[in-house]
Amino acid sequence: MRKSDFAVWVLVMLAFVAAGTSMINATRSQSAAAANADVYKSLDLFGEVLERVRADYVEKPDDAELIESAINGMLSGLDPHSTYLNPKHFRDMQVQTRGEFGGLGIEVTMEDQVVKVVAPIENTPAEKAGVMSGDLITQLDGVSIQGMTLEQAVEKMRGPVDTPIMVTIVRKGVADPFDLKIVRDVIRINPVRAEQEGDIAYLRIKTFSEQTYDELKSSIADLKKKIGSDLKGYIVDLRNNPGGLLDQAISVSDAFLDKGAIVLTRGRNLNETQRSNARPGDLTDEKKVVVLINGGSASASEIVAGALQDHKRALVVGTRSFGKGSVQTIIPLGSNGAIRLTTARYYTPSGRSIQAKGIDPDIIVEEDVPDDLKQASSASQPRGEASLRGHLKNGDGGENTGSSAYVPKEKEKDTQLKYAIDYLHGLKDDQQKKVEIPQQQDKTAN
């Protein structure tokens, strides 16, 4: 074929390709335009309903509340974890995840329309000022607490660091109420409780806030030094831990791993598909680890339990976890707060989806719930993601309900904790394993 003929054929082919591409793009544009038209039509309907409510509802509604309710309805219709955060709720969420705030340093509850002090937190302004467990707080800066909710009272006690507040206290055994002037300081919510159980290091992780990994690392170092060469192993208690920050779950898992994947996240878009890997260095020097879980262990807790289980780094003991296998992204909306939107699902290193399934323990150990709590306590009832209305379905099928979230207050009655201690002392083995970890299923993890 001559060069001139070849050039003509190339031009013809390019023309066909261009025409085909144009047709495809035109079809896509028409489809997008049709979809947009449907959306705009629905927005017209929304506007019509909004105006009808504003004009004819029996009482004059608040416009801002109407819009906020509409946004909440749209997001809650997606799944139970997507929601709108108004500016106040957004600030509260930031305080919770930071793990520190300006305040007094007391754990409180509401009793008979006044605030009752459960306990002052050690080395905080409240403790230094003399606040005691059992004190009743009746006024804040001379304003009666009666009629306030607990949240409103707590919000009033929080504030900028170095600002004072006058707290009126009624104390048993003291005839008259008295005032205490307390200056707010930075209060840190300790997410990790570390204790020595003889020759065993016990680590109770309450939540995954910005402080969790740093507190865990410090606690491990302290217990290693305290127990010394007699250290038999570690118990990581994740029972009733509702989760928190994904990056903290990854860091906590990494503390016990030397290599390998920790968690896989897959979203709708390619940039939301990621694999997080452990870095060299096991903070526990490869000592034995037992992880405790139950029906209240969710989200970030399940990432940690699943990662350590898949790598056979820890024996997981207890009952099936909650089953929240989705990732929420906080998307700020400027001065209008933020939305918490489900953007991905997460999987264990072997490719297991936890969504609406949970983590099954290696050793199933049920707590003995007292008869008087079996009906009265919601903690004793099975719970789980699969029971939530509108939950994301597990694409692999086989959804499971949750399990009991009851944990006895007395250590001597804590069957799961006792099993973990016995195992680390060599009095129990792991031959009763219930979970068979599948071979690597995720091709992106190779």
Tell me whether residue 196 is in a domain. yes
| Predicted pLDDT at 120 | 85
CATH number of the domain enclosing 184: 2.30.42.10
> How many of the other CB atoms lie within 10 Å of CB of 372?
8
Q: List residues bridging with 331 in a β-sheet.
A: 339
Tell me whether residue 209 is in a domain. yes
Q: Quick one: 209 and 284 in the same domain?
A: yes
Specify the 3-state DSSP secondary structure of 435: coil
**Is-catalytic flag, 225?**
no
pLDDT per residue rounded down to tens, the chain (446 residues):
554 554 544 444 545 445 555 555 555 555 656 667 778 777 889 999 999 999 999 999 999 999 999 998 999 899 989 999 999 889 888 877 887 788 998 878 787 778 888 778 778 899 999 999 889 999 999 999 988 878 788 889 988 899 999 999 999 889 999 999 999 998 877 899 999 999 999 999 998 999 999 999 999 999 999 999 999 999 999 998 989 999 999 999 999 999 999 999 999 887 778 999 999 999 999 999 999 999 999 999 999 999 999 999 999 999 999 999 999 999 999 999 999 999 999 999 999 999 999 999 999 999 998 877 665 444 455 668 888 888 999 877 778 877 988 899 899 999 999 999 999 999 987 765 555 555 444 333 32
Q: Quick one: 176 and 72 in the same domain?
A: no
Question: From CA 166, how far away is CA 161, in angstroms rounded?
Answer: 15
Q: How far is C-alpha 420 from the geometric centre of its chain's CA atoms?
A: 25
pTM, full prediction = 0.78
Q: Quick one: 269 and 417 in the same domain?
A: yes
User: CB of 201 within 8 A of CB of 234?
Assistant: yes
User: CB of 62 within 8 A of CB of 86?
Assistant: no
Q: Quick one: 433 and 335 in the same domain?
A: yes
Tell me whether residue 407 is in a domain. yes
Q: Quick one: 289 and 178 in the same domain?
A: no
CA distances from 404 to 15, 300, 435 (A): 67, 19, 19
Q: Quick one: 307 and 412 in the same domain?
A: yes
Q: Quick one: 145 and 201 in the same domain?
A: no
Q: Quick one: 124 and 267 in the same domain?
A: no
Question: From CA 26, how far away is CA 60, in angstroms rounded?
Answer: 48
Q: Quick one: 275 and 251 in the same domain?
A: yes
Question: From CA 198, how far away is CA 17, in angstroms rounded?
Answer: 75
User: CB of 304 within 8 A of CB of 346?
Assistant: no
What count of Cα atoms within 13 Å lies in the side-chain half-sphere of residue 445? 21
Q: Domain count of the chain? A: 3
Tell me whether residue 147 is in a domain. yes
User: 83: closest CA among 96, 69, 94?
Assistant: 69
Tell me whether residue 31 is in a domain. no
Of the residues 155, 188, 221, the one at which a domain ends? 188
CATH number of the domain enclosing 295: 3.90.226.10
> How many of the other CB atoms lie within 10 Å of CB of 366?
13
Range of the domain at 55: 41-76
Tell me whether residue 335 is in a domain. yes
User: 372: closest CA among 384, 380, 364, 382?
Assistant: 380
CA distances from 191 to 83, 211, 307 (A): 25, 7, 20
| Predicted pLDDT at 259 | 96
**Which residue of the set 299, 301, 350, 403 is catalytic?**
299
Q: How far is C-alpha 413 from the geometric centre of its chain's CA atoms?
A: 28
Q: Quick one: 440 and 382 in the same domain?
A: yes
Phi-psi region of 86 (alpha: psi -120 to 50; beta: other; left: phi over 0): beta
Tell me whether residue 363 is in a domain. yes
**Which residue of the set 135, 219, 254, 324 is catalytic?**
324
Q: Quick one: 313 and 165 in the same domain?
A: no
Q: Which helix (H) or strand (E) holds 141?
A: none
**Is-catalytic flag, 62?**
no
**Is-catalytic flag, 310?**
yes
**Which residue of the set 135, 185, 254, 310 is catalytic?**
310
Of the residues 188, 208, 234, the one at which a domain ends? 188
Q: Quick one: 290 and 164 in the same domain?
A: no
User: 80: closest CA among 383, 351, 315?
Assistant: 383
Tell me whether residue 2 is in a domain. no
| Phi, psi torsion values for 61, nearest 5 degrees | -80, 160
